[in-house]
C-alpha cells in the first residue's frame, strides 16, 4: 500500500466513524498538530474526533490534491488540502480539549481549505500536521457554531 493509500484509508475511516480502522492506521507515537492549540497524541486525537462526531456525525474532511514524496529521513510525506465541513445535529462536549458542552445550534460548518501534511512510516501515519489558517482549526469550527469558548489545554 502506498503512503497516499494509507492516508486516504485513514481519512475514510475517520469520516465513516470506524475508530478501530483509523487507530490501526496510526503509529503508536502518532502526533497531531496545528489544528488545536497543543499537539495531540494518538488517543487524544481519536477521542477528539469521536467527540466532534457526537454532535456533527456527518463531519467530513474533504481531503484532496494529495501529493506523495519520499524522504530518506522521515519516510514518505503526503501533502494535500482538507476542508472540514458538516452539520451539527446534536449537542456535544470535547473534554479532550477541556471545553464546556457545545449546545445544539443546528448550524452547518465549512472551514477554509487548510494545508495538511502526513508523515508515513512503515505503512502507518506518524504525524499529521495542519498549517494554521485564519478562520480554520478548532477555533474556527467553534466560532462557526456560535461558541467562542477559549480552548485550554
Q: For each of the chain's 153 residues, which pLDDT tens digit applies?
A: 899 999 999 999 999 999 999 999 999 999 999 999 899 999 999 999 999 999 999 999 999 999 999 876 778 999 999 999 999 999 999 999 888 889 898 899 999 999 999 999 999 999 999 999 999 999 999 999 988 655 544
For residue 54, the model assigns a pLDDT of 94
- Rounded CA separation 14/150 (Å): 25
- Rounded CA separation 98/76 (Å): 33
For residue 99, the model assigns a pLDDT of 84
Residues contacting 16, CB < 8 A, separation 6+: none
- The strand ranges marked E within 13-131 are 26-33, 40-41, 64-71, 75-82, 85-87, 108-110, 114-121, 124-130
- List the alpha helices (DSSP H) in 25-112: 42-55
Amino acid at each position: 500500500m502506498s503512503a497516499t493509500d494509507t492516508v486516504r484509508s485513514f481519512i475514510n475511516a475517520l469520516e465513516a466513524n470506524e475508530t478501530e480502522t483509523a487507530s490501526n492506521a496510526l503509529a503508536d507515537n502518532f502526533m497531531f498538530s496545528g489544528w488545536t492549540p497543543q499537539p495531540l497524541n494518538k488517543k487524544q486525537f481519536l477521542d477528539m474526533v469521536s467527540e466532534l462526531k457526537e454532535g456533527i456525525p456527518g463531519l467530513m474532511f474533504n481531503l484532496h490534491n494529495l501529493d506523495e514524496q519520499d524522504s530518506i529521513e522521515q519516510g514518505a510525506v503526503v501533502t494535500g488540502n482538507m476542508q472540514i465541513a458538516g452539520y451539527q445535529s446534536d449537542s456535544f462536549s470535547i473534554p479532550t480539549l477541556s471545553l464546556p458542552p457545545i449546545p445544539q445550534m443546528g448550524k452547518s460548518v465549512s472551514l477554509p481549505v487548510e494545508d495538511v501534511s502526513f508523515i508515513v512510516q512503515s505503512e502507518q501515519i506518524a504525524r499529521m500536521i495542519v498549517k494554521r489558517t485564519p478562520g480554520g482549526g478548532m477555533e474556527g469550527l467553534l466560532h462557526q457554531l456560535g461558541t467562542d469558548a477559549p480552548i485550554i489545554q
